[in-house]
Amino acid sequence: MVPFSVTILGSNSAIPTLHRKPTSQLLNLNERLYLIDCGEGTQVELRRNHVKFLRIKAIFISHMHGDHYFGLIGLLNSMHLLGRTKPLVIVAPEELKRIIHIQLLAANTRLSFEWEFRPLTPNSHTVVFEDSALRVQNFPVKHRIPCHGYLFKEQEREPHMKKEMIAKYSIPAVDIVKIKKGGGFALNDGTYIPHEKLTTPNDPPRSYAFCTDTLPLPEELPKYTKGANLMYHEATFLNDQEDRAKKTYHSTAVQAAKVAKACAVDQLILGHFSTRYTTLDTFLTEAKPHFENTDLALEGRTFEIG
Ligand SMILES: [Zn+2]
Ligand SMILES: [Zn+2]
C-alpha cells in the first residue's frame, strides 16, 4: 500500500504560543504534498519537519478566522523568493482571494508561479480538487462564520491482474490495460473471460476527514465522513467549558468523541486546543470513554491513514 499520512504542524486555537501553533496540517499521499489550513508560523513548522514545501500542490483553507490562514501570505512569499515555478491551487472562502491580491499589490510583488484560486460557496458539498491520486470534497460545518470541513479520499485504484491468467491466456499488454479499466478478454475461439475472473480488487480507498471550528454535528457529519479511516475533530474545550464551547461555536473532547462514534471512523485525533489548557491529558481522559481510539493531534506527530 502506498504511504498516506497526515503530519500535525499546529494544534492550538486562536493564538500561537511557544509550544503550540495555530492550525495547520500536511497531508502526504505517496510523496504528493497538500496543506490543510495555514496558521501563523506554518512555514517554520514545515521547515522543522524537513518538508520540501515548494512541492506542496494544493492548499485547503477551512474558514476566514486568522488562526487558520495568517501564515498563508508568508508561505506564498517564501515560495516566490525560493523560485517556485510549479502552479499552486488554493481552495478557500472567496474573501481570501482579495486579501492575497491586496497584500501582493501593496508589496508590488508578482509571484514567480501561477496560483489558481478556487472559491468555496458557504454550505456547499462538492468536489473541490482532484488529481490522479486524491479526490477532495468540502462539506459544511457550523461555526460563527462560514466554515468548511474536508474529506480527503484516495482515488479508486485499478484492480490487480492475476498473473496466472495472463500466462494461461497469453494476454497481450494492450489488453491488460483494457482489462484493468473494467473489461474482459475474448479468446480466439470466441469464449469470453469476464473481468472478475482475470483480476483481484485493489484495497478500498482510504480517507481522512478534517473537521475544524465547529459545533458538534453528530447527525450531519456522518453524511460526509462515514467510515473514514482517520478523523481530525476540533476539541477546543474540556467538559468544564461546555457552555463556552457552545457560545463560541466550538466543541468539547467528549462531543468530538461522540461525533467520531456517530461517523464510525477508525481513529480520532483531537486538536485546536484552547490556550487556557497547558497540559492536554484530560482531553483523552474525557474523550476515550466515548471513543476509545482517540489521540492528540500534537505538533510534529504523524498519523498513518488506514
Ligand atoms: Zn480556529
Ligand atoms: Zn474559527
Q: 85-123: per-residue pLDDT in tens?
A: 999 999 999 999 999 999 999 999 999 999 999 999 999
Ligand nearest to C-alpha 147:
2
Q: Does residue 1 have a pLDDT over 90?
A: no
Distance 143 CA to ligand 1 centre (A): 10
Distance 264 CA to ligand 1 centre (A): 25
Nearest to 62 by CA among 194, 209, 175, 210: 210
Ligand nearest to C-alpha 146:
2
Interior/surface letters 216-243, b for 16+ CB within 10 angstroms, e for the rest: bbeebbbebbeebbbbbbbbbbbeebee
Give the pLDDT score at 132. Answer: 95
Distance 72 CA to ligand 2 centre (A): 16
30-76 pLDDT, tens digit per residue, is 999 999 999 999 999 999 999 999 999 999 999 999 999 999 999 99
Neighbours of ion ligand 1 (CB under 5 A): 13, 65, 67, 213
Distance 250 CA to ligand 1 centre (A): 9
Catalytic residue flag (residue 37): no
